[in-house]
Each structure stands twice: as C-alpha cells, then as structure tokens.
Structure 1
Amino acid sequence: MRAHAARLGLDVEVVSRPHARSLAEAAQLLGIEPGDIVKSLVVRRSDGEYLFALVPGGRKIDWAKLRAVVGVNRLSLPDAGQAKEATGYERGTITPLGSTTAWPVFADERIRGRRVALGGGAHGLSTFVDADALLSALDATVADITAEE
C-alpha cells in the first residue's frame, strides 16, 4: 500500500489504532471528525467488474445516484470473499491504494478539501492522506453518490 502511494506521489501517514466499536469511537481514537473517516467500499457491476466507492463517515451509498454516475442499471456489494479476491484486502481494511487491481474510483464530493483516514490494508491500521491529492492521483470520478445514514 505504501509503495503504491509513493508511486502515485502521495504523502501518506499510516498509524496504528485500537479496535473501535463505532464510527464515533474510531474518530475519537484518531483525533478527527467522523466525516473524515472514509470507507473504501468495493462494488460489483453487473458485468462482473468492480469499482471503489469512497464514502465519508456518517453517510452510505445512494444506489440510484451511484448507478447514474457509473452509467449502469445494476450494482451490488460482493461478499467478503469476493471483495478480498477483487482487491487483495479483507473487509474492514480495504483501500484503493495497493489493490491487486486498479479498479475505477468513484468518490463522494464531500471528501474534497479534507485530510482523511482510509483503511490501512491491515486490521488496526489507518492511512491519512490529503483527499484532493488522493482523488487526483487515482483519477477518481467525484460526485454526489451518498445519502445520510
């Protein structure tokens, strides 16, 4: 993950963190706001290909919005085994940085202009990165793709 970030020219900080039982607890442990924690969700397209959806804490994928942006009629969340096969990461550790395949990235517009924490590629790790630099480096499509949880 760090090597991929370096190849992309991203300055990342990987930190260890204890297990958290909630988004609020995770944010508190990391010293950030809940919206600065970004979930990297693996989404399966109807053609069997995948994409990453970057979703800020406190929000969830709005499936109609994401389908419209992607330009497809059907999207779904794969099971844990399929997600690991598609990315090389276990659920809860997934990040587009260092994924076994560079799937397209779709990010919610609310993460722009922030320093965010992503999955660190392993349990107990979080990766801090400038969201704008991340979005640019990953050539992400940025749009309103979420709704409040």
Structure 2
Amino acid sequence: MPILQRLPALQAVDLLAAPVAQAIAALPADLASGIEAAAIDPELADTAAFSEAYGFPLAGGANCIVVTGKRGSDVTFAACIVLASTRLDVNRTVKQLLGARKASFAPMDEAVARTGMEYGGITPIGLPAEWPVYVDSRVSEVPDAVIGAGVRGAKVFLPGAVLAALPHVEVVEGLANPVEA
C-alpha cells in the first residue's frame, strides 16, 4: 500500500492547482493551518480507487460536484460537497437552493474550463467567487476529510469543520441522501 506524505498545504503549493494554492494562501491562518496536501497516483484520483489504494476510509471521502441551475436564460453554477457514501439530491434540494426550474450536473468540459482545475480533482477551494458552495451537513462532521486538490495527482485533507468554514460555503441539511445498498 502506498504511503501518503501529508504536508501543510501552504508548504506543498506545487501539488495544488493554481487557483487552489492562491485560495489557501488567502485564507485566515486558523483555517489554512488545518489544511494538508499529499501527492497521489493520478490514476487513483477517483474516491473509491483512492480509498482502496491508500487505505483511507471511504467515510472520509468528500466529492465536489459542479452543478448548473437554469431558470429561463439564466444559468447559475455552484459546487456541492457530499460524502462518497451519499448521493447528491439534484432534482429537489439543489434545484431549490439555486432557485432554478432545472438543475443538473455541469458538463465535464465546462466544469474544467470554468474552474481551471482537472476533472476528477475539482475542489471547493479556489472556485470562482460568485459560485455558491453547498456542503452537506454530514461532511462538516467528518474529522479528517479528503477532497481534490484541483489536479488528479494530489489530494487535500482537512477537518470537515474547516471545510464548512471556508468562504462562500453554506452547510445544508439533506443536500445528499444515503446510497441504498
């Protein structure tokens, strides 16, 4: 099993996508100090593969999902953070949060272009400032969460409480539902 060498994110900016490194550097010291980064095999960036290969509990895996909401000609982008063991409630909760008639997952090419991050590594840290970031309340309770680093070759680790305290974040009860077995 490969070993993760976790470093304070501010000392590992070379592992992070540029918008992620810039956003972490701009955070208050109490939040930035709770964030670590580690290099990983880019082929293992997907949550389940990462958890299995590195022995990180799947319960700590948080997925960042870029969504769009449409009402007439208005299109709103947002990011939703949910645990890997849950499924985002796009058709009800996300649609309501965005005040949209229709909500859906953003097309991969558009999500990558708008975030400046790699698909499979998109993270809530460093997203465009006008985007709301919705975090499922279960994520805020995780003591050691893992999210993308903006690139597939690294991960970011932080307490769920730090993730919930990031700029533009709104913690939402019921943003996701447990995946049925």
TM-score with structure 2 setting the length? 0.73
CA distance in 1, matches of 2:76, 2:46: 31
Which of 65, 70, 82 is the aligned partner of 1:55?
82
Are 1:127 and 2:151 counterparts? no
**SS at 2:75 equivalent:** coil
TM-score with structure 1 setting the length? 0.87
CA distance in 1, matches of 2:154, 2:45: 15
1:1-149 → structure 2 map (5 Å cutoff): 1-9=20-28, 10-11=32-33, 12-18=35-41, 19-20=43-44, 23-46=47-70, 47-63=74-90, 64-99=92-127, 101-102=128-129, 103-114=131-142, 115-143=144-172, 144-149=174-179
Structure possessing the higher radius of gyration over alpha carbons? 2
What is the letter of the counterpart of residue 52 of structure 1?
A: A
**SS at 2:120 equivalent:** coil
1:42-67 Cα distance to aligned partner (Å, 9 max, x none): 11121222000001112121121222
Cα contact 2:61–2:84 (8 A) shared by 1: yes
**SS at 1:98 equivalent:** coil
1:101-128 Cα distance to aligned partner (Å, 9 max, x none): 1211011111112221111111121000
CA RMSD after TM alignment = 1.9
Cα separation, partners in 2 of 1:53 and 1:21, compared to 1, 3 Å: closer
How many residue pairs get aligned? The number is 148
Deviation at 1:139, TM superposition (A): 3.7
What is the letter of the counterpart of residue 131 of structure 1?
A: G
1:12-45 Cα distance to aligned partner (Å, 9 max, x none): 2111122338644422334332121111111112
Cα contact 1:80–1:90 (8 A) shared by 2: no
Q: Which runs of 5+ in 1 are unaligned?
A: none
Higher relative contact order (CA 8 A, sep 6+): 1
CA distance in 1, matches of 2:176, 2:61: 14
Cα contact 1:42–1:83 (8 A) shared by 2: yes
